[in-house]
Chains A and B, each alone.
Chain A
Amino acid sequence: MAKHPSPQDEGKSSGARHLVASLRLSRSEMAQKEAVRVLYPESSSETDLALRIWRRGLQLDLARLLSVGGVIPGGVDEQQVAMLVLHDVLTCLPLLQRTGRLHALIALLAHPPLAAATAEEHEAPGEAPEIDPSAAGSIDEIGGGDFL
């Protein structure tokens, strides 16, 4: 069984890796953890900080799951998760703007990928998407022969 680190062990160097709350972190991950510490001023220990960061990741994953129609355990309110993610998006707007991702996001909202193709072309759940009857013939006309 893996040995749990004592509070004194936390953050100690183990080669190029560091143990924090039983998580084996690389040097760069340690540096990133220190950088985000400022976002969690209420954390009381390294373990508490690790737990808070983990919870944040869990919330994001729940939001991702709900977004694609996944089912989450009872007791989690969809509205609450949406608000948490909205807060994250708002916080990250300057970064998205600086890196040009906001523009891409707006374009995506204006023209959702696949919207034209899937919504219109999937006739009913469970049915095979029909390939347009004209498509096979069009291949012959532009240099496609028969299967060998």
Chain B
Amino acid sequence: MAERERLGLRLRIFLFFALIVCLSAVAIGAGTWAAAVRLGPEALPHLVLTGGSAWFVIALAALLIWQKFDENVARPIVALSHELERESTATAARAGVNTAPARYLGALGPAIERATGALSEERAATAARIAAATREAETAKARLESVLSELKQAVIICNREHLILLYNTEAVRLLGVPETVGLGRPLSTLMRDEPIRHALERVEARYRAGRHLAHPDGLSIAVLTTTATGERTLAGRLGLIVDGTGGEVSGFAISLGDVTQQIEAASARDRLIWDMIDTLTPPLAALAAMGEILVAPGAPEGEARAAFDAAVAAESHRAAEAIATMAERHAGLRSGVWPMEDTYSPTLFACVVGRLPMSLQGRVRVEGEGLWLHAETYSIVELLAHVLKRLMPGTGAVALAAERRGGNVAVDLLWGGEPVSLATLEAWLAEPLDHALGHLTGRDVLARHRTGFLPNRAPDGRVRLRLPLRAPIHDHEGAPAMPLPRRPEFYDFDLMNRALPADLAGQDLRHLSYVVFDTETTGLNPSQGDRIVQIAGVRIVNGRLLRGEVFDELVNPGRPIPAASTRIHHITDAMVANRPPVEPVLRRFHAFARGAVLIAHNAAFDMRFLGLRQAEAGVRFDHPVLDTVLLSALISDPTAEHTLDALAERFGVTLLPEERHTALGDSIATAMVFLRMLDLLAARGIRTLAEAQEASDTMVALRRRQSY
């Protein structure tokens, strides 16, 4: 449209000049004719010559003027409009508009220059603002990720439908099974949902009534629940997520810790106290009464007195025994109230040294290997620093060391010279430590840790003040047990607005949750005893392939793996020798695939193997199933190949060579192929699960007919 108008401008000007030439021709013609009528035919040749010359001059002038006009006005305007057009559609700041052609257009050129200059400046500023905002968002996201992954509290964020939008590594550790922690999964698969719903109901009621504004807890509330299996007790807080101020409730965040130990310890303590009352009261009640009777007037005498004496002795003995039993039980209790944790001795010693005045710091040395131990570190650091502060004015350099001692780990203070007397040590321990510990003395800290200082001498002759502490609870040697990537796709806020699919069939293929899986087997004939040796799968949630949420387990097939099969999947008998049989793995895979649509390349094969032992495993793989072979047949040339390699190539899916032909690698490749198929399927009107399954069924029928 604009192109035609621009061409039209020069044409219209040309036509205007042409019209002038034509009109002058008409005027001259008319004049010549009028003169010829009056002057007679003999004057005609002169008149024609004069008129023709005049017209020629006019035409020539018009041509010249048009040429100049075209060159200096029309063409520059066209050129400028081109430039402006380009400028307006440019995506980034450009060098500016070339206004050279506009030199005869007066102030137009400079005005355009100013306008485009302002435009490009504005554009650059906008681009900078966007870049800054994007950087900020990225930083905030990275910060959130790192905070969440380092946090020692399990954090889970859910939408209103209790589907998980975010979780951190600690949540996976705390809630156990990685195959059930995952984006888009219902919270109830992880923990007992009722207490959460109850807490949510209360805090929502508080929010709706506006009471949260004055409430000390605002929009948060305490929750106490257990893991789905009930094995662990979880305590923490739930916070309501509200869109803006006074907006709709869009979900909730829960932070949880494992309080199983604390609660067990507290109830064990309670039980101990009650048992103590129950076992001590009868002998003490009898003793008290007998004591009174024996000193009162009319006390029993002779034989009766002897019976009383025997009873007093028996009950005293019983009470003493009861106390001894209780003391033993008390010693066996785990200290659950104090937040004890595993700590590394070099870290602990560095903290101790840091608490000392500068004058003493240079005289403290850390010796020996670093060991893990279990303690409430803050109070132990305060205690050791306190003892050093009292001790060091009277000694030379002091060494700090940790040593394994039986089942414990001892922390030693070592110095050359005189030992410290027990009375002095006791006096130091009676002094209060830091304010933060609430006037706690060193003796209190020792009591909490059920330990005490042992003064003796080290084998090298130095004086040693030894503090036995507990060995660590967790195994810190070797590799960390958690096979999870450090920052996998742990969150998906697009799920915020999605409900639990009530009716999968009508759901858009793009919004379903999938588990794309692959099995490796001992052979191709399940009916002839071939068995699964590996199951792997990967999740797709909201159109995203979650490489962080994978299932990959080897299975002991209970029979030798033929060499021919090992050549394909590289799984040997030795690799599966210590692996579980298929049943527990099927159960775990079933949990991993809960609520999802199953996808496999040539799904019938894999489903056959899954179905074979599902009864023994006590599960049923009755998920909806899609097959990438059938889907590929729906959207491609009937002669095309449908092997996974061919599909991967056709859809531009590349995998590392070491990933290919592993169950997990093939699952990922299948998942990527599937995601890229979705557009092509949609183009053929296949948008919902029901449509995909119907089309697949047609394809199965067609293929069956062709094969007969």
Q: Indicate whether A and B interact.
A: no
User: Which residue numbers of A lie inside 8 Å of B, CB to CB?
Assistant: none
User: Which residue numbers of B lie inside 8 Å of A, CB to CB?
Assistant: none
